[in-house]
Amino acid sequence: MSQLATVWSRYRSIPLVYRIGTAFVLGSLVGLAVGQPATQLQPLGDIFVQLLSMLIIPIIVFTLLMGARRLTPSKLGKIGGQVVGLYAITSALAVVVGLAVSNLINPGAGLELTEAEAGSAEAPDIVEVIMGIVPANPISAMAEGNILPVIFFVIVFGYALAVVQESDEVSEGVSRGVESIFDIMEAGAEAMFKIVWGVMEYGVVGVFALMASVFGQAGVDAILPFALLMATLAIAVTLHIAVVHLGGLVMLLSRQSPVDFLRGGRDALVTALSIRSSSGTLPVTMTNAEENFKIDESVYSFSLPLGATINMDGTALYQGVVAIFAANLVGVQLGLAEQLSVVAVAVLASIGAAGVPGTGLIMLTLVLTQLGLPLEVVGFVAGVDPILDRMRTMTNISGDLAVTTVVAKWNGAVDFASGVWGEGTPAATPADD
Ligand code: ASP
């Protein structure tokens, strides 16, 4: 028994991110080796995704209300403007990077569009997205897990609480009540961060199962023809993360070390890679921002849930890569004007896309329609999308965290002397708890 305990504590002393990383690689290899039967493991992976999803709404509500204590409307407006502005600029840059790398590598030349089915899913209308921000019923928005209307309602509610508390007309009891609500929210948020780490422990099993199932399903034969497309995307996202996120946002604007940034956000990045959902990763992203980056909740509780839905650098970049890929498949050359139109459409598409698996694929319909390219391309790449989506989602999360760091710095809402920025290991690696 005590031997078992020793093995367990040795295992736990390895940082979580390495254990999940190993599970990722082993799961992929097992999937490739075993093939179809490995898909039986899928439910074990689905439980992991479901456990994370369970935390999304509570963590948004708790942290936003906890942050509302310090938010005045002018501060919210200022932070909101900076966040949205940086999100838009980095997404546009991402499409440019995607187009540039894809123009250089030219994936798709020599491939033939066969066995294609037209993509059946529809991209959401941008007006609908904007209308959807105001919830007709906040409880049903929460029940359905709609992030934007939940953010909207909770900010309004949090602000009203702060106004009530400041007012001279309310009794002391009411004022104390508001104080208690804020305290309870803070307690709730702390508890959620603890649960995140518990869920991540299970993530080792979950990620193994997810990867085994993906590669068991796809198989080497299905993947190989798309190797160049995958490589193009991999190079482009690496370049974007390195230059725009690490170089521009972290080093230049935040004046911090990119290595610290990657160490602080590694749990979120590896989770994004594993479950390919920005929303699903949100609880981990927020935990990393709070515990490793030491960012104040008045910034991240707003910027991260918003980023999970509207800021998708990887998804936007992917549109650029596939635009060239699709043009090569049918043998047309895209001119400069056409490529510029891709930037506009791809940024809008990435804003409208929900942070769930596979939306980037659906968004392709917008870009392809804009360019007059065959929609069959969507069906053509659908088979390898579970692999491409991982790279997109990881890039999306990296962008959310990098912009959040800059905006936190601009607003004096981050402690660069502690957490991952100071010396020492990331506070949140729970192994040595
Ligand atoms: N899966 C991505 C995300 O959740 C969206 C996409 O499909 O590109 O961020």
* Model confidence at 432: pLDDT above 80: no
Residue nearest ligand 1's atom 2 by CA:
393
Residue in 410, 151, 383 with CA at minimum distance from that of residue 286: 151
What is residue 204's predicted lDDT score, i.e. its pLDDT? Answer: 94
Task: Check if 357 has its Cβ closer than 6 Å to any atom of ligand 1.
Answer: yes
Pocket test for ligand 1, best of 233, 277, 281, 397 (most atoms within 8 A of CB): 277
8 Å CB contact between 386 and 214: yes
pLDDT tens track for 299-336: 999 999 999 988 999 999 999 999 999 999 888 889 88
- C-alpha to C-alpha distance for 399 and 406, rounded to whole angstroms: 11
* Model confidence at 123: pLDDT above 70: no
The domains of the chain are located at 15-432
Share of residues in the chain with pLDDT > 70 (%): 94
**Mean pLDDT (whole number) for 246-251:** 97
* Model confidence at 1: pLDDT above 90: no
- C-alpha to C-alpha distance for 326 and 318, rounded to whole angstroms: 12
**Mean pLDDT (whole number) for 86-113:** 90
List phi, psi (to 5°) of 109: -65, 130
pLDDT tens track for 161-214: 888 888 888 888 898 999 999 999 999 999 999 999 999 999 999 999 999 998
Burial class (CB in 10 A: 0-12, 13-18, 19+), 147: buried
* Model confidence at 82: pLDDT above 60: yes
Q: Please give the C-alpha separations between residue 290 and each of 201, 295, 297, 389, 408, in angstroms, as whole numbers.
A: 19, 6, 7, 26, 12
* Overall fold of domain 15-432: Proton glutamate symport protein (1.10.3860)
- C-alpha to C-alpha distance for 228 and 324, rounded to whole angstroms: 12
Task: Report the mean per-residue pLDDT for the chain.
Answer: 89
CA of 360 to the centre of ligand 1 (A): 6
The pair of three-digit structure tokens given for residue 119, joined into one six-digit string: 């993509």
Least confident of 156-165, 287-296, 403-412: 156-165
For residue 431, what pLDDT band results from cuts at 50, 70 and 90? very low
Q: Please give the C-alpha separations between residue 164 and each of 43, 171, 373, in angstroms, as whole numbers.
A: 47, 10, 56
Question: 116 in the Ramachandran plot: left (φ > 0), alpha (ψ -120 to 50) or beta?
Answer: beta
* Model confidence at 378: pLDDT above 80: yes
